């Protein structure tokens, strides 16, 4: 009987120990459950994904670029063509100038507003490229006032009767309308009728204030209209004349 009682007491003690151990282990397991809320914060680490969502906004800029494609294939307007040619004149780029010259009629150089179809010099597309280095002196017409012949090399003529002012930066630009301030007749629309030609007028009203506007300059670029294309047909210089 004593043995059974002792055995029963031992069994009860063992059971109590197991229960105590189980109770002591239960709180230890709970922190593992509380760890799960920490993981719920991990999506916050993925919030850069919304910041990446603006990247599709780059797509509109890409979609805008195709709009420029038609422009590349669209013939230039007279004003656009004139801007390119004037830049070539500013830089003395004869190759670019040559590329705009009419293959059929060449380009006519007029030192004054009156276009003299008999005496103004005309150069072909092929001749333009090498003119700047050509030492030959040519007669380009007559000086207004003195009547003396304008006998110059192309480089000299270019400096005196083509790009003799900062037309790119200082000029007022107009299409098919000229600033007529001189005493010389402007016959540009007679030689280059509006149904076949456009011209762009670059006008500087004054260069040096002491001359009170009597040193004005104009350079008119004449373009032949071939369908929607524009081909350079004339370069007309103009200035104050006595």
pTM: 0.70
Same domain, 89 and 128: yes
Same domain, 100 and 215: yes
Write the DSSP symbol of residue 118. T
Q: Structure tokens of 159?
A: 């400096």
Q: Which of 192, 181, 187 is nearest to 234 (CA)?
A: 192
With residues binned 3-state (H G I as helix, E B as strand, rest as coil), the percentages for the chain, rounded to 5, are 45, 20, 30
Same domain, 33 and 80: no
Same domain, 35 and 131: no
Q: Structure tokens of 107?
A: 């380009």
Total Cβ atoms within 10 A of residue 207: 16
The residue among 42, 68, 94 that closes a domain is 68
The residue among 33, 68, 103 that closes a domain is 68
Same domain, 44 and 87: no
- Number of folded domains in the chain? 2
Question: How high is the pLDDT of residue 71?
Answer: 53
Q: Which of 129, 156, 158, 121 is nearest to 234 (CA)?
A: 121
CATH assignment of the domain containing 187: 3.10.450
Same domain, 9 and 104: no
Same domain, 193 and 128: yes
Same domain, 16 and 60: yes
Segment-wise mean pLDDT, segments of 10 residues, the chain, 242 residues: 42 42 41 40 37 34 31 83 98 97 95 97 96 97 94 98 98 91 87 98 94 92 96 97 83
Same domain, 228 and 192: yes
The number of residues in the chain equals 242
Q: Structure tokens of 231?
A: 């081909």
Total Cβ atoms within 10 A of residue 11: 10
Write the DSSP symbol of residue 173. E
Expressed as residue numbers, the domain containing 149 is 76-239
Same domain, 121 and 235: yes
Same domain, 210 and 156: yes
Same domain, 127 and 223: yes
Cα–Cα distances in angstroms (integers) from residue 32 to residues 28, 111, 203, 218, in the given order: 8, 96, 86, 89
């Amino acid at each position: 009987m004593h043995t059974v009682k002792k055995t029963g007491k031992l069994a009860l003690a063992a059971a109590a120990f197991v229960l105590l151990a189980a109770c002591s282990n239960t709180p230890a397991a709970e922190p593992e459950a509380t760890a799960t809320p920490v993981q719920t914060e991990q999506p916050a680490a993925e919030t850069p994904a919304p910041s990446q969502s603006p990247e599709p906004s780059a797509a509109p800029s890409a979609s805008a670029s195709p709009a420029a494609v038609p422009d590349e294939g669209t013939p230039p307007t007279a004003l656009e063509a004139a801007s390119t040619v004037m830049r070539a004149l500013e830089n003395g780029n004869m190759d670019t100038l040559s590329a705009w010259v009419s293959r059929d009629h060449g380009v006519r150089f007029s030192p004054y507003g009156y276009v003299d179809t008999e005496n103004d010099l005309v150069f072909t597309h092929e001749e333009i490229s090498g003119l700047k280095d050509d030492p030959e002196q040519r007669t380009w017409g007559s000086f207004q006032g003195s009547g003396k012949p304008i006998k110059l090399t192309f480089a000299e003529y270019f400096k005196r009767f083509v790009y003799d002012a900062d037309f790119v930066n200082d000029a007022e630009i107009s299409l098919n309308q000229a600033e007529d301030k001189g005493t010389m007749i402007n016959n540009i629309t007679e030689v280059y009728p509006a149904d076949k030609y456009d011209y762009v007028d670059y006008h500087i009203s004054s260069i040096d204030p002491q001359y009170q506007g009597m040193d004005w300059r104009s350079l008119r670029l004449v373009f032949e209209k071939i369908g929607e294309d524009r081909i350079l047909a004339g370069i007309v210089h103009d200035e104050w004349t006595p």
